Amino acid sequence: TQLLEQSPQFLSIQEGENLTVYCNSSSVFSSLQWYRQEPGEGPVLLVTVVTGGEVKKLKRLTFQFGDARKDSSLHITAAQPGDTGLYLCAGTAAGGTSYGKLTFGQGTILTVHP
Amino acid sequence: DAGITQSPRHKVTETGTPVTLRCHQTENHRYMYWYRQDPGHGLRLIHYSYGVKDTDKGEVSDGYSVSRSKTEDFLLTLESATSSQTSVYFCAISAGLRSYGYTFGSGTRLTVV
């Protein structure tokens, strides 16, 4: 089983601050996805990155896939209370018996205070 | 309209009873998955399906079985529920592998007493 470690587990910040969430593994992934989950709902896909070194932007959110495709980061600029939620990274195995199946990190609980 | 629905949304059952959770999709996606979500463990794959009557085990499949007789329906059965199976269960669908994102249902909160 390929493991994804997310950090930090908890993040409590004030509105307007910047933050970065990290997702690391010793395994290579063919793609990596970021999801956001609100209480009582399922995760919702934010972005998929597939190329090493790829950077994608979604409004105030910037996602980066590591050159070696073993890690990723999510950066939020000028956080807002509406960004509050659980952020999950998930990787698709590059091969072997786990090919194509998503492995999830533990998640980062973000709270943005007004 | 939601492309994926789970039923029931909440269920309380007694230890030792069988329980079946249903996932229904209207997207005609080939791949369907069942995950459980627990504090400290994130989302863990129970079983998945890559087509009608084609299913396979995930990392935490013990005590669970699945069936997929139609493209749109994927059933998860707890043969004899135990307290360790108290969890939130999510179904997900995807159109393909690798770069295809998953669409998740809203989850079923199952409590085994």
Give the model's pLDDT for residue B53: 92
C-alpha–C-alpha distance, residues B32 and B103, integer Å: 10
**Inter-chain residue contact B104 with A42, CB threshold 8 Å:** yes
Task: Please compute the mean of the pLDDT values over residues A72-91 and round it to a whole number.
Answer: 96
Give the model's pLDDT for residue B98: 67
Q: Is A45 helix (H, G, I), strand (E, B) or coil?
A: strand
A1 band by pLDDT with thresholds 50, 70 and 90: low
Chain B residues inside the 8 Å CB shell of A92: 97-99
Give the model's pLDDT for residue A2: 64
- Is the confidence at residue A97, as pLDDT, over 80? no
C-alpha–C-alpha distance, residues B5 and B23, integer Å: 6
Contacts of B111 (CB under 8 A, 6+ apart): B11, B12, B13, B86
Contact B58, A103 (CB under 8 A): no
- Is the confidence at residue B72, as pLDDT, over 70? yes
Chain A residues inside the 8 Å CB shell of B90: 42-43
CA angle A83, B103, A54 (to 5 degrees): 65
**Inter-chain residue contact A31 with B45, CB threshold 8 Å:** no
Contact B100, B83 (CB under 8 A): no
**Inter-chain residue contact A42 with B106, CB threshold 8 Å:** yes
Give the mutation candidate from A9, A23, A101, A103 for the B interface (greatest B CB count, under 10 A).
Answer: A101
Strand A55-58 versus strand A29-37 pairing type:
unpaired
Higher pLDDT among residues B2 and B50, named by residue: B50
pLDDT in tens, A11-60: 999 999 999 999 999 888 888 999 999 999 999 999 999 999 999 999 99
Give the mutation candidate from A10, A104, A108, A109 for the B interface (greatest B CB count, under 10 A).
Answer: A104
C-alpha–C-alpha distance, residues B22 and B52, integer Å: 15
The burial class, CB within 10 Å (0-12 / 13-18 / 19+), for B4 is: buried
Give the model's pLDDT for residue A8: 96
Sort residue A53 into left (φ over 0), alpha (ψ -120 to 50) or beta. Answer: left
Average pLDDT, chain B: 94
A100 band by pLDDT with thresholds 50, 70 and 90: low
Chain B residues inside the 8 Å CB shell of A43: 43, 90, 102, 104
Chain B residues inside the 8 Å CB shell of A31: 98-99
Contact A18, A75 (CB under 8 A): yes
Residues of A with CB under 8 A from a CB of B: 1, 30-31, 33, 35, 40-45, 48, 50, 88, 90, 92, 99-107
Give the model's pLDDT for residue A93: 77
- Is the confidence at residue B60, as pLDDT, over 80? yes
**Inter-chain residue contact A104 with B43, CB threshold 8 Å:** yes
- Is the confidence at residue A98, as pLDDT, over 90? no
**Inter-chain residue contact B98 with A100, CB threshold 8 Å:** yes
Give the model's pLDDT for residue B101: 87
Task: Please compute the mean of the pLDDT values over residues B30-59 and round it to a whole number.
Answer: 92
Give the model's pLDDT for residue B1: 55
Chain A residues inside the 8 Å CB shell of B59: 1
Give the nearest partner residue to B97 out of A40, A45, A92, using CB atoms: A92
